Copies of this chain bind each other. A is one copy, B any other.
Amino acid sequence: MTPSAERRRELLSTAAEVFAAQGYNATTVRRIADEAGMLAGSLYYHFDSKESIVDEILSTFLNELWAGYDEVLDAGLGPRETVEALVTESFREIDRHHAAVAIYQKESKHLSTQPRFGYLTESQGRFERAWLGTLERGVAEGVFRADLDVRLAYRFLRDTVWIAASWYRPGGQHSPEEIARQYLSMVLDGITPREEQTGRDRTPQETPRRP
């Protein structure tokens, strides 16, 4: 990585942190520059515009996210295992890119109205297809409840996972895998006890962290 690219990455990381904390609109480019130890004008040596900064933050994040997702989706897992793997992968992304995820969560609806951010809408579509497909397959195979409103369940799962970015802080007491397991146990089995439940064999297994 060239030194220039390294600086760029630093700046993007700083900007993401500020955007996540204050919101895109409420964040001034001056504030970002302050945080990076330079003057507002100097940022324009590195980036075209404020917009192109979020753009790069979000697209970088989504590229990585889909690399992980596609690996899961192409692995030929069953519906339940797919759900478990997608959720776990999501919490890992929150762990690694929590600022980008928070921005994505808060601003994507607003930003996606602009052509430049068309990929947000596109990504949302892939998202929807992946989840809906998995859920429908699970219902068909009897792995998920027959009376499930899959569209509602899709929104439920989607929101449930990403909203965690609003409170999750990396380095806390729970690893992303731990949080994923807890979430999955609630979503898959519910918060009320299952009488016949033996525990171990129904609770989602820990997915090993990839190297």
- Interface, chain A (partner B; CB < 8 A): 22-23, 25-26, 80, 106, 109-110, 142-149, 152-153, 155-156, 159-160, 163-164, 166-167, 174, 179, 182-183, 185-196, 199, 202
Q: How far is the CB of A117 from chain B (nearest CB, A)?
A: 14
A22: which B residues are within 8 A, CB to CB?
A: 110
Whether the Cβ atoms of B106 and A144 lie closer than 8 Å is no
| Distance A144 CA – B185 CA, assembled complex (angstroms) | 13
Q: How far is the CA of A155 from the CA of B22 in the complex (A)?
A: 21
Known contacts: A186-B153, A186-B156, A193-B146. The answer to whether A166 contacts B109 by CB under 8 A is: yes
Q: Which of A142, A190, A193, A199 has the most CB of B within 10 A?
A: A190
Contacts of A143 in B (CB 8 A): 192
Nearest to A174 among chain B residues (CB) is B152
Question: Nearest 5 pairs between A and B by C-beta?
Answer: A190-B190, A189-B190, A25-B25, A159-B163, A145-B193
- Give bound CA distance, A202 to B147, whole Å: 13
B155 touches A159 (CB 8 A): no
Between-chain CB contacts (< 8 Å), 10 pairs: A25-B26, A26-B110, A143-B192, A144-B192, A146-B193, A153-B191, A163-B163, A189-B189, A190-B190, A194-B194
Question: Contact at A192–B188, with CB atoms within 8 Å?
Answer: yes
Contact B192 A195 (CB under 8 A): no
Query: Which residue on chain B has the smallest CB distance to residue A110?
Result: B23
Chain B's closest residue to A80 (CB) is B192
Looking across the interface, which residue of chain B has its beta carbon closest to that of A148?
B191
- A199 → chain B closest CB, angstroms: 8
Task: Return chain B residues, CB-CB under 8 Å to A156.
Answer: 160, 183, 186
A191 to B, closest residue via Cβ:
B144
